[in-house]
Structure 1
């Protein structure tokens, strides 16, 4: 009898284990990966970053309006400096934190877990360096939009109400991270591979230049508020080696076929929103005041009388009556620019003028304008005529105006850079919206949800920066 009982217990136990195994197996998703190779996370984050910078969808990105390169026709809230209507701050916040920084964090963890068979130590170091460079770019973009933002706690899934941190402190931290990333790159080894690295095709030397150029930008943003750190960053970047021509540009190669096309094509053509965008009178007037031949490359020649801009932030701008975007900039495979040689040369001109580095400011200034003309395909004769104009000729006594105006003009279609640098250099003074008389904002507003779901930290951050207001200046904007 005892033997029969033991046998029954054994059978029941085996059945229970079998059932438990079956239950666990049912919880396994056999169609979707439970672990993702870090190269795919890296590529996904990189594409999302490029899309954010290139996007013209005013649910996701306001910079082409806020830089005054375009204004709207029917829906004028965004060109009237109203980011709350569509909670654009929330869209940018979600994209940078969840679709870019979180993916890069997971990619970093995946790289560190790779064994020697899958990647050598030099390859892993390169991969981590590439990730860090994109992280720094993303963090700077957040700070330059909002000011103080969640940083140390931001990507911790266990901290649902992350504290905001001081923007200047974040800048210092990402500067350290960038320096580490650049020093860890080894051009003699590969990184994620050419297929995964859509930006530079696994050219580690190119990544090193990109990192140094980004370091230069970080340094120059700090020039008025932290001269010591600015000098360290700028001299270090120049010593490493920054972009030397348009061939070095950090240009993301979008595809000519869906779903990897330029997002501006998606919005203008697929979604048929191009009729919401017209040239602004503010920028058209700037271009005409310099007799700038790039006007024909920036905008379409759809108006027989010439190039005409609509009243910035004004109601009643009919699409047919004003100049439109040049169709070239919203073709499916038009590249998305993260950073270019033109910006680098303007930064170098300023660095020389400020006495941070040696050299000739005028040479860098001319190089910057020249590279912009070359990028847009403007001829050499037109360039020579343009550079000879007294309004364009470099003047060290008025360097902020000279560099500020020319950099603003050259930053067309890179709205965030144009808007940001105009605030930092104070040239030009961007337009007041005609519809409501609101002046050009100094920052984006925090996401609407933050005041509800993270109220204590939101209130503390708003108080620390001087209020969650459009007029509140960023920490580096002291002029």
Structure 2
């Protein structure tokens, strides 16, 4: 929540809150990019347990989070604060959206060409839209139109901010994407310290179209006509065409900005994260070659841990950091310091195209063809040849009679280690169907995250009204687009 207490933390960037030091906007954008990637890709159970929402990961020692306890560790609060505004737990580090707000303000007075300034503002807007969409997909209604109004050094903002309707926000985000896309001029670059694309504005245009495409497909069940219009327009304007277009990091730097999964699983010394039996059993049933890229064998077999159980670690496969898989192929090292970290990628977009085609949208292919292309993209992403992918697809063909099951299961597998992306597919397509663990702390597998507990202290009237509007502040209350 953006309040006096949260907003005041942003003044740590300034020596004098009443006369704020001008910070180069590019530094704030890079900071926001780092924070966004770190938060959405981390497996730290204090901040992001989306991999447990999709039952791809399990725990063997400390199992509270895989049983959906989000209270002992205030996970909803921590995710909200990292995405929205700085929190006292993150000293001298603004949240993603507050950093971008400040970057946009500082950009206006920077001495650069009008084209470069326009490109930079487009970058700020597109990262902001991505972050806002994540918050809506996570919580539902959130403070949006009245949020983040305070500028650096200005503490005269309202202490309570109303919540806005989630679908209204989504439609506004699509408008913002179109405006940002129109601002891009590919004759000049954007920020030179842009961590994702190095200021390549042709890449940013594809990102804008691909992000719009994701939001459009997400709207399919609640606004089918609009979804079709938006998706087809985004496709026509140009989506990701290969992994070189991916939004995120092709490789994490080392040190403090190493791959967060490496930091959480290897560097921290934790060894209780394992693949779940829900995922591994399914992959065993399809003889999925990606098992050898992601997991080690126990007794010559891939065996997942019982989801929500604290059974012995020694009995189960675990995530691998070594090369394995098909002989002669380079393995993908999942938890090395420099592993890739993508927030929107060619594989996801191709699965979304398959889904869009199955819904009757004109997006450049049949559902079966795009289904095969999406699986191939995932296989290639993890070091396999198209020939290996083709053999797998022949054994696991697209089922037109139950396309949601076909696409849902394969997208869920392909989004392994991309928790939020996998969660969106599973909620929208209703496959796989997850079973609530016996010792779960909630009534069913979460389809949303509860509001931050701080909201009930700092923004009580508004969050209470929002909770009532959406049908209750529960993990079982569906996001507006999840209607089936």
Same fold, judged at TM 0.5 (above): yes
Distance in 2 (CA, whole Å) between partners of 1:254 and 1:146 is 30
Confirm or deny: 8 A CA contact 1:89 1:447 kept in the other structure: yes
Structure label with greater radius of gyration: 1
Confirm or deny: 8 A CA contact 1:43 1:198 kept in the other structure: yes
Q: CA deviation at 1:253?
A: 4.5
Q: CA deviation at 1:255?
A: 4.2
Q: Which residue of structure 2 lines up, in the alignment, with residue 106 of structure 1?
A: 102
Show structure 1 runs of 5+ residues with no match.
1-26
Confirm or deny: 8 A CA contact 2:376 2:390 kept in the other structure: no
What is the total number of aligned residue pairs between the two structures? 441
Q: Which residue of structure 2 lines up, in the alignment, with residue 285 of structure 1?
A: 281
Question: Which of 467-476 and 353-362 deviates more?
Answer: 353-362
Map 1:55-454 to 2 at 5 A. 55-98=42-85, 99-114=95-110, 118-157=111-150, 158-193=157-192, 196-273=193-270, 275-301=271-297, 303-314=298-309, 316-327=310-321, 328-357=333-362, 359-389=365-395, 392-436=396-440, 438-454=443-459
Confirm or deny: 8 A CA contact 1:282 1:431 kept in the other structure: no
Confirm or deny: 8 A CA contact 1:311 1:434 kept in the other structure: no
Confirm or deny: 8 A CA contact 1:312 1:434 kept in the other structure: no
Question: How well do the aligned residues superpose, as a CA RMSD in angstroms?
Answer: 1.7
Distance in 2 (CA, whole Å) between partners of 1:164 and 1:276 is 38
Q: CA deviation at 1:293?
A: 0.9
Distance in 2 (CA, whole Å) between partners of 1:450 and 1:380 is 49
The alignment's TM-score, normalised by the length of structure 2, stands at 0.88
Q: Would you tell me which structure has more helix in proportion to its own residues?
A: 1
Distance in 2 (CA, whole Å) between partners of 1:278 and 1:72 is 6
Distance in 2 (CA, whole Å) between partners of 1:349 and 1:436 is 34
Distance in 2 (CA, whole Å) between partners of 1:348 and 1:382 is 22
Distance in 2 (CA, whole Å) between partners of 1:271 and 1:428 is 31
Secondary structure (helix, strand or coil) at the match of 1:434 reads: coil
Distance in 1 (CA, whole Å) between partners of 2:353 and 2:305 is 35
Distance in 1 (CA, whole Å) between partners of 2:302 and 2:72 is 31
Distance in 2 (CA, whole Å) between partners of 1:402 and 1:179 is 32
Q: CA deviation at 1:429?
A: 0.5
Q: CA deviation at 1:241?
A: 0.2
Q: CA deviation at 1:68?
A: 0.8
Secondary structure (helix, strand or coil) at the match of 2:343 reads: strand
The alignment's TM-score, normalised by the length of structure 1, stands at 0.89
Distance 1:322 1:111, change over 3 A: same
Distance in 1 (CA, whole Å) between partners of 2:185 and 2:21 is 31
Show structure 2 runs of 5+ residues with no match.
1-13, 86-94, 151-156, 322-332
Distance in 2 (CA, whole Å) between partners of 1:167 and 1:211 is 20
Confirm or deny: 8 A CA contact 1:68 1:431 kept in the other structure: no
Q: CA deviation at 1:352?
A: 1.7
Q: CA deviation at 1:254?
A: 4.8
